[in-house]
Amino acid sequence: MRTNAVSNLNRTRWLTLIGTIITQFALGSVYTWSLFNGQLSTKLDQPISRVAFSFGLLSLGLAVASSVAGKLQERFGVRNVTIAAGVLMAVGFFLTAHANNLFMLYLSAGVLVGLADGAGYLMSLSNCVKWFPERKGVVSACAIGAYGLGSLGFKFICGYLLSISTLEHTFIIWGLLAMAMIIVGGLMMKDAPKQEVKTVNNHREQPRDFSLAEAMRMPQYWMLALMFLTACMSGLYVIGVAKDIGQGMVHLSALTAANAVTVIAIANLSGRLVLGVLSDKMARIRVVSIAQVISLVGMSILLFTHMNEAMFFGSLACVAFSFGGTITVYPSLVSDFFGLNNLTKNYGVIYLGFGIGSILGSLIASLFGGFVVTFSLITVLLIISLSISATIRLPNKEQQAHNTLQHV
């Protein structure tokens, strides 16, 4: 009987992993959005910059929904919330297909699709990590790698659909395909069992679980939040303006500068896989330090050198590798600090840094004029983050030391 129970549990967690990978692949499709800016600009008779703002709203909606997904999971379960996210995404794309003004586009593609993506993304990822406490880094790499691959896979799917069909039909088919994948993935998932803290001689072997309120009272929580915001701001800003940097600062042709998209995709995915796997072999906070150093190298090239083509692509690769690796390691890192059971909630608030970071870089660039000021601020924040990652300690260390002294 015991063997059967273990076998069933093992089967359930592997099915959950497969379901999470399928779901993440579909959710990652939103990162093909730039394919549609040109045609939407023509259809709505609006500048591309205004149309592209819908993706900023999407990123913000994604971060906000991620921060409340833990509450939804508690009430309805991971399967039901995932399926609802798939349906909402399809509705968002259907309304996007029929949007005939900017407000409708912002509401459908920005708010609805962003909320759907966020509700499914962080919750299904955190749930999957909880199923594999002994392989948190590898599992995060698989799930977040699938999210990254989704943007690449749907780039070809949506590109093909646009070549054979209308813009409206492409949005509808995209929504239906994503919904089908998310529902199939959701049906394969189950809520992870509550993690039990083992005790030996009245001592806890694992860090105790912190509720969100407890975690937010710890200085370590806000240190992790600042490091995450910095990583997201550097990655999202540089990735968003990579082509413009190539043309404006390195004087590359539009065609050559466009190769930045491919370099970023490869480096981003490599960072997710390499640093995700590495985070199971060494202390995760040290992996984050490595990512920060690599990002600093990339930012230093952008700031302090007269770039040629090779150095430009090298700097992009450094920033994208670091960004991909950091967001892969972070769920497991937060669980190291504050426990697995409340991971979705505890990481959810930190994940708001993704949404804030997505608009902060562009906002600073527009207020203070261009790349150099923004790069300088990001570099300062990276140096502060590196000093934090070098000195931060787990919040339960003092408590464990106190317990040990009492026992002695």
pLDDT at 405 over 80: no
pLDDT at 382 over 50: yes
**Predicted pLDDT at 60:** 83
Asked whether residue 324 falls in the same domain as residue 265, the answer is yes
What is the domain count for the chain?
2
Asked whether residue 98 falls in the same domain as residue 236, the answer is no
Contact status, residue 216 vs residue 349, Cβ threshold 8 Å? yes
Please count the CA atoms within 13 angstroms of the CA of 323 that sit on its side-chain side: 31
DSSP 201-214: TTEESSPPPPPHHH
Looking at the domain assignment, is residue 198 inside a domain?
no
* CATH number, residue 31: 1.20.1250.20
d(CA 330, CA 279) in angstroms, rounded, equals 10
**Predicted pLDDT at 312:** 87
Number of residues that make up the chain: 408
Judged by DSSP in three states, 200 sits in: strand
The CA-based dihedral angle spanning residues 238, 317, 29, 340, taken in that order and rounded to the nearest 10 degrees: -90
31 lies in which domain range?
Answer: 8-188
Phi, psi dihedrals of residue 118, rounded to the nearest 5°: -65, -40
Looking at the domain assignment, is residue 29 inside a domain?
yes
Asked whether residue 357 falls in the same domain as residue 220, the answer is yes
* Residues 209-227 pLDDT 10s: 898 899 999 999 999 999 9
Asked whether residue 39 falls in the same domain as residue 153, the answer is yes
Q: Nearest to residue 335, comparing CAs of 286, 285, 268, 387?
A: 285
* Residues 104-129 pLDDT 10s: 999 999 899 999 999 999 899 889 98
d(CA 112, CA 123) in angstroms, rounded, equals 17
Asked whether residue 330 falls in the same domain as residue 235, the answer is yes
pLDDT at 239 over 90: no
Asked whether residue 273 falls in the same domain as residue 168, the answer is no
* Residues 25-83 pLDDT 10s: 999 998 888 778 888 888 998 887 788 788 878 888 888 888 888 888 888 999 999 99
d(CA 353, CA 385) in angstroms, rounded, equals 14
Looking at the domain assignment, is residue 203 inside a domain?
no
**Predicted pLDDT at 50:** 81
- Residue position matching structure tokens 């959950």: 16
* Residues 253-282 pLDDT 10s: 877 777 777 788 888 889 988 998 898 889
Asked whether residue 161 falls in the same domain as residue 217, the answer is no
d(CA 271, CA 325) in angstroms, rounded, equals 4
Report field, pTM of the whole predicted structure over 0.75: yes
The two three-digit tokens of residue 252, written as one number: 């590359």
Looking at the domain assignment, is residue 82 inside a domain?
yes
pLDDT at 313 over 80: yes
Asked whether residue 258 falls in the same domain as residue 386, the answer is yes
Q: Nearest to residue 390, comparing CAs of 227, 207, 219, 281?
A: 227
Looking at the domain assignment, is residue 194 inside a domain?
no
Looking at the domain assignment, is residue 244 inside a domain?
yes
The two three-digit tokens of residue 182, written as one number: 């998310």
Looking at the domain assignment, is residue 277 inside a domain?
yes
pLDDT at 408 over 70: no
Judged by DSSP in three states, 199 sits in: strand
pLDDT at 160 over 80: yes
Asked whether residue 29 falls in the same domain as residue 174, the answer is yes
Asked whether residue 33 falls in the same domain as residue 155, the answer is yes
Query: pLDDT band at 203, cuts 50/70/90?
Result: very low
Q: What share of the chain is helix, strand, coil (3-state, %, to 5)?
A: 85, 0, 15
Asked whether residue 100 falls in the same domain as residue 166, the answer is yes
Asked whether residue 229 falls in the same domain as residue 358, the answer is yes
The two three-digit tokens of residue 172, written as one number: 């509808």
d(CA 294, CA 96) in angstroms, rounded, equals 39
